[in-house]
Chains A and B, each alone.
Chain A
Amino acid sequence: MDIRFENAGVDYGSRTALVPLNLTLQERRIGVIGLNGSGKTTFARLINGLVKPTSGRVVVDGLDTVGDAAEVLGKVGYIFQSPQNQIILPIVRDDIAFGLKARGFDKAQIEAAVEGILGRFGVGHLGARRAHELSGGELQMAALCSVLVTGPDILILDEPTNQLDLKNRALVQRTMATLPENVIVISHDLPLLEDFERVLLFDQGRLVADAPAAEAIARYREMAG
Chain B
Amino acid sequence: MKTLHVDADTWMHRLSPRLKLLALATLGLLLFLTHSIPVLACANLGGAALYFRSGLPVAEALRRLRPILISITVLAIFAALVGPLHAAIVTALRLTALALFAATVTATTSMAALIDEITALAMPLEKLGLLKAADIGLAVGLVIRFVPEILDRYRAIREAHQARGIKVRLATTLAPLIILTLRDADNIAAAIDARGIRRQ
A95 to B195, CA, bound (A): 11
Q: Are B197 and A90 in contact (CB under 8 A)?
A: no
Q: Are A99 and B110 in contact (CB under 8 A)?
A: no
Interface string of A142-156 (1 = CB under 8 A from B): 000011001000000
Q: How far is the CB of A10 from chain B (nearest CB, A)?
A: 15
A46 to B112, CA, bound (A): 31
A213 to B180, CA, bound (A): 36
Interface string of A41-78 (1 = CB under 8 A from B): 00001001010000000000000000000100110011
Q: Which of B1, B191, B195 contacts A132 (CB 8 A)?
A: B1
Q: Are B193 and A50 in contact (CB under 8 A)?
A: yes
Q: Are B134 and A102 in contact (CB under 8 A)?
A: yes
Q: How far is the CB of A217 from chain B (nearest CB, A)?
A: 27
Q: Are B191 and A88 in contact (CB under 8 A)?
A: yes
Q: Are A90 and B111 in contact (CB under 8 A)?
A: yes
Q: How far is the CB of A97 from chain B (nearest CB, A)?
A: 7
Closest A residue to B119 by CB, please name it: A101
A91 to B142, CA, bound (A): 14
Q: Which of B3, B191, B200 contacts A103 (CB 8 A)?
A: B200
Q: Which of B15-23, B95-103, B182-190 forms part of the interface with chain A?
A: B182-190
Q: Which of A70, A90, A97, A102 contacts B1 (CB 8 A)?
A: A90
Q: Are B195 and A146 in contact (CB under 8 A)?
A: yes
Q: How far is the CB of A135 from chain B (nearest CB, A)?
A: 14
Q: Are A89 and B141 in contact (CB under 8 A)?
A: yes
A87 within 8 A of B: yes
A104 within 8 A of B: yes
Q: Which of B2, B190, B192, B199 contacts A88 (CB 8 A)?
A: B192
Task: Give B contacts to A, CB under 8 Å.
Answer: 1-3, 5, 7, 110-112, 115, 134, 141-142, 145, 184, 187-188, 190-200
16 pairs of residues in contact across A and B, judged by CB atoms under 8 Å: A48-B194, A73-B196, A78-B191, A80-B194, A85-B187, A85-B191, A88-B142, A88-B197, A89-B111, A89-B115, A89-B141, A90-B110, A99-B195, A102-B195, A132-B2, A147-B195
